[in-house]
Structure 1
Amino acid sequence: MIRTMKIDDYKEVRALWESIKGFAIRSIDDSYENIERFLKRNPTTSIVAEEDGKIVGSILCGHDGRRGCFYHVCVEESKRKNGIGKRMAKAALEALENEQINKVTLIAFKKNELGNSFWQELGWTFREDLNYYDITLNVDNITTFIQ
């Protein structure tokens, strides 16, 4: 079952993130409080996949009124290659379309070969015509990669 994520899903979604090798989790951005704030700001666009009452996939999805963005797209490793990711992406894109968002972006780590091939198979465009920049405003927002 694919459905909208609620803050009550946080504990299970966080456990899913922590189970995936190479997944990057930020100490502040991915805390309960900040995910709750994100979901309040974007109440209809984040998605989870449930199987037998257990969350097996998630997409944090939000927008700024102009562009949508996918964050933390994942499917439990044992459940991959069964269409769960495609169904979640479709649901999140439909939620953004319902809010009149016309363009969606995402970032995939270069080392994430599986993720990069997934997005290309779904027809997403790899951009070579721009540079991506960011700046950390809070040095306590530490990124941890799951080993």
Structure 2
Amino acid sequence: MPSSSASLAIAEITDNDIADVVALWQACGLTRPWNDPAADIALARRGPNSAVLVGRDANAIVATAMVGHDGHRGWVYYVAVDPNRQGKGLGRTIMAAAEDWLRAAGVPKLQLLVRRENAKAGAFYQSLGYDESTSVMLAKWLDGREATP
């Protein structure tokens, strides 16, 4: 569902956007050696329960959020804003779009993960009304990889 807010046009990713989105994620330090960002995009685009939202300003992709749900809980990943454009409300706009996407799907709760060392991101999400959960996240690689930080 395309929308606009404060010079940011938001829509779902297209095939032609993938390289620019991956470059933005790399510029924002979101990629990790154990995750292939193009494969993550392909997985998010496979079904109706997830999407990659891109925010454009003057046809340049300046913000993203990958959003998905299991029918009960929604998740947001790869929230990115062009480092040269941060502090201008674009992060709030792309997060509002992710929340709207989940509301439209009837999902009542949104969760996200923030690395402990990323205090700036934690403060950003708290400014949007997110609270730290008392739950402990556990993880296991199903493809035989060893645990990573």
| TM bracket, shorter-chain basis | 0.7 to 0.9
Candidates 11, 14, 33, aligned match of 2:19: 11
Kindly state the Cα deviation for residue 139 of structure 1 after the two structures are TM-superposed.
4.3
In the alignment, structure 1 segments of 5+ residues that lack a partner are: none
Q: Is the 8 A contact 1:59 1:89 kept in 2?
A: yes
Taking every aligned residue pair, what percent have the same amino acid on both sides? Answer: 24
Kindly state the Cα deviation for residue 45 of structure 1 after the two structures are TM-superposed.
4.5
Candidates 113, 117, 135, aligned match of 1:130: 135
Deviation per residue, 1:28-62 (Å, 9 max, x gap): 552x3442231232477432111221111110001
Q: Is the 8 A contact 2:44 2:50 kept in 1?
A: no
TM-score, normalised on structure 1? 0.84
Indicate the residue corresponding to 2:9 in structure 1: 2
Kindly state the Cα deviation for residue 4 of structure 1 after the two structures are TM-superposed.
2.3
How many residues matched?
Answer: 141
**1:12 is matched by which residue type in structure 2?**
D
> Aligned-residue CA RMSD in angstroms?
2.4
Deviation per residue, 1:76-129 (Å, 9 max, x gap): 1110111101011111111111110000100001111111100000000111x2
**1:124 is matched by which residue type in structure 2?**
Y
Q: Is the 8 A contact 1:7 1:39 kept in 2?
A: no
In the alignment, structure 2 segments of 5+ residues that lack a partner are: 1-7
Candidates 88, 99, 119, aligned match of 1:113: 119
**2:80 is matched by which residue type in structure 1?**
C
**1:6 is matched by which residue type in structure 2?**
I
Q: Aligned pair 1:20/2:24, yes or no?
A: no
